Amino acid sequence: MKIVGLAKVRYRDIREFVSSDILIEDLIDSRIGVHDSKHFEVKLDYAIRSGETNRYRVESYFFIPSSLGINSSTYSSSHFYRDVQAYIRFKTPSSALRNLSSLEDGPLASIEKLVRSFASGKIGNEKVDEFSREARMFACIYRSQLRDHVVHMQESFESIKASGAIESARDLTEQLGKFVEAVRAFLENFRSMRSEANGRRVPATVRDTYQYIDEFISVTTELKIASLLEVMDEHGIDNQLAKERVKVVDLLIGEREYRENVSYLSERYVDPDDEYFLYRIGKLKKFVTSVLWLEIKKEKEGAGLQDVGAAIAAGIAMLFTVLATIWSSRWYVTNTAAFVVAAIVIYMLKDRIKDWLKRLWAKKLTKVLFDHSVKIRDPISGKNLGLCREAMNYVKHSSLPADVLEARRGDTDNTVEDEAKPEQIIRYEKEIRLSGDETIDRLKTDQHEINDIIRFSLARMLEHADDPKTKLPYFDESQDKIIRKKYRKVYHINLVMVFRHAKESVAPMIKRVRVVFDRSEIIRLEEINSR
């Protein structure tokens, strides 16, 4: 069992090669983590291949304790979809820091060329959108690379502490020094065009875009480097890292002073009660990362078929009414009480027949239709990139696929587990179709992946949970008396996910994660390894 907590879990199954030499893990990558006290999220990366429609299917089975009061009567599909937030975006392309810092080639060289053309008056407003897209994508790549480098070094420090080999920290000296210098070179080269970007001929939108991105880069650098310094100090440093620590501190202070010198609104954040700093960070982040986000338009699937079914039901009900009225007129005179009673009964039956047929039609449709159909649109190019369909329903243990049931019971040999902890099972299915050519044409990079972010809220499920602490009688031998001892009351939701590709030759991938929580918050996530 692996405790996940706030960290992201990156799954990489080793599977046998299929005939096309493609593995399922090469096509779908998944990470599951805690977002905040009441939300956890699943991040899926779909690989995009040109010349075809890329189709993926993800089936999620939620095993929920019955004691939380979740069932088809209290928690409908509408409740479920209100508790699920879905986001779809392009995955941030990857590029080494040294490539980002280069003014000779790469994205920074392209941005500098545009800035000089604006400043010299060679181009005008017709290139503003292109500059905005490239500059924001550039900032996204830097943020991603900075985060990955910091995480890697944090893990190295944690590994050193766990092994007790503090002398191994010397191996990080050169790596840490090169990293700090690479960040400094990046910042220096990007800011070398600041005066030109603020030139008189440069369109106002370009000037504002450059300043927003510059401020975002500065804040991101300070926060990420500060988290690295925190881990360094937590695990202790020896004399070999003392000089590097000074460089890290200088970098942090330098970014804070830089924002103050150029009058950026996020110049300082020393007051923990200052609400504006987080608001400003959010504003900068949304502006920069918006270049990656896609628009989704959710519609009820099969609305037209439902209308057709309703019309057919109404027609059949009307046919019954006409025939029954003709038949009753042969037996009863129209101005008699008997005829009136017969007409009322016919109307009542007609109304019931129409509703019954509508329900029957809807039940048949649910077997072939999803709940929603979501169109995926790129707001920049205006093109439709694909379609996403989703469906939710309750299932019984007896209806579960064998591989899902095996994954759920993978960590126990107890044959009465199901009876000991009764569960409600929710099945959430998501099918996504993405146009390979349209997506690749939009990104214009060698890396073509789409991020699908699904965030689940447990707030509604916590309403019926017991208090986080429960007192139970306990005999204390040292005091020779019974005391009331507090125990933590937690709940488990087991999530089994099945990842599939449209090609049957690609074997599915199954993963299970346990969400451990109490009435107040999510405590941790645990990756469960099957037997």
452: confidence class by pLDDT, cuts 50, 70, 90: confident
pLDDT, residue 357, reads 67
Smallest CA-to-CA distance from 449 within 436, 466, 465, 463 is with 436
Q: 14-23, 212-221, 375-384: which has the minimum mean pLDDT?
A: 14-23
pLDDT, residue 9, reads 39
Distance CA 123, CA 160 (A): 53
First to last CA, the chain: 11
64 or 449: which leads in pLDDT: 64
User: Phi and psi dihedrals of 109, rounded to 5?
Assistant: -65, -40
State pTM to two decimals.
Answer: 0.74
Based on the number of CB atoms within 10 Å of its own CB, is 374 exposed (0-12), middle (13-18) or buried (19 or more)? buried
Which positions ≥6 away from 512 have C-beta within 8 Å? Answer: 407, 408, 410, 494, 495, 496, 497, 527, 528, 530
17: confidence class by pLDDT, cuts 50, 70, 90: very low
265 or 327: which leads in pLDDT: 265
pLDDT, residue 209, reads 95
15: confidence class by pLDDT, cuts 50, 70, 90: very low
Owner of token pair 């990293």? 179
Distance CA 248, CA 255 (A): 11
Distance CA 466, CA 488 (A): 10
pLDDT, residue 308, reads 66
User: Hey, which residues does 90 pair with through a beta bridge?
Assistant: 450
Instruction: Write the pLDDT tens digit of every residue in 289-298.
Output: 999 888 888 7
Tell me, what amino acid is at 48?
I
Average the pLDDT over 376-381 and give the result.
Answer: 83
Tell me, what amino acid is at 27?
L
Virtual torsion, Cα 272, 276, 277, 283, nearest 10 deg = 150
Domain boundaries, the chain: 2-88+380-527, 97-291, 302-366
Pull the structure tokens for residue 21: 């030499």
Distance CA 11, CA 528 (A): 12
Distance CA 521, CA 252 (A): 33
pLDDT, residue 222, reads 92
Instruction: Write the pLDDT tens digit of every residue in 127-178.
Output: 999 899 999 999 999 999 999 988 888 888 777 766 665 556 666 777 888 8
Average the pLDDT over 45-71 and give the result.
Answer: 86
Average the pLDDT over 494-523 and give the result.
Answer: 85
Determine what percent of the chain is predicted with pLDDT higher than 90: 24
pLDDT, residue 61, reads 94
User: Phi and psi dihedrals of 319, rounded to 5?
Assistant: -60, -45
Pull the structure tokens for residue 316: 């059949």
229 or 314: which leads in pLDDT: 229
Q: 138-152, 281-295, 347-361: which has the minimum mean pLDDT?
A: 347-361
pLDDT, residue 258, reads 93
Rounded to whole angstroms, what are the CA distances from 448 to 43, 93, 439?
16, 8, 7
Distance CA 94, CA 446 (A): 9
pLDDT, residue 238, reads 53
pLDDT at position 491 over 60: yes
Residue 175: CB atoms within 10 A of its CB come to 14
pLDDT, residue 245, reads 85
Q: Which of the 8 DSSP states describes residue 17?
A: -
Q: 76-85, 86-95, 179-188: which has the minimum mean pLDDT?
A: 86-95
Which positions ≥6 away from 349 have C-beta within 8 Å? Answer: 320, 324
Helix ranges (DSSP H) in 330-474: 337-366, 402-408, 417-420, 436-443, 459-462
Based on the number of CB atoms within 10 Å of its own CB, is 6 exposed (0-12), middle (13-18) or buried (19 or more)? exposed
Instruction: Write the pLDDT tens digit of every residue in 71-87.
Output: 988 999 889 999 988 88
pLDDT at position 13 over 60: no
Owner of token pair 């590709």? 501
Average the pLDDT over 222-239 and give the result.
Answer: 80
pLDDT, residue 4, reads 46
272: confidence class by pLDDT, cuts 50, 70, 90: low
267 or 219: which leads in pLDDT: 219
pLDDT, residue 60, reads 92
3 state SS of 381:
coil
Which positions ≥6 away from 298 have C-beta within 8 Å? Answer: 372, 373, 374
Residues 7-39 as b/e (b if ≥16 CB within 10 A, e otherwise) read eebebeeeeeeeeeebbbbebbbbbbbbeeebe
Smallest CA-to-CA distance from 524 within 34, 20, 191, 27 is with 34
Instruction: Write the pLDDT tens digit of every residue in 385-394.
Output: 888 888 888 9
Rounded to whole angstroms, what are the CA distances from 473 to 127, 161, 478, 480?
74, 40, 15, 13
pLDDT, residue 255, reads 93
Distance CA 396, CA 63 (A): 10
User: Hey, which residues does 3 pair with through a beta bridge?
Assistant: 526
pLDDT at position 513 over 80: yes
Q: Tell me the average pLDDT of the chain.
A: 80
2: confidence class by pLDDT, cuts 50, 70, 90: very low
Pairing of strands 491-501, 53-65: antiparallel
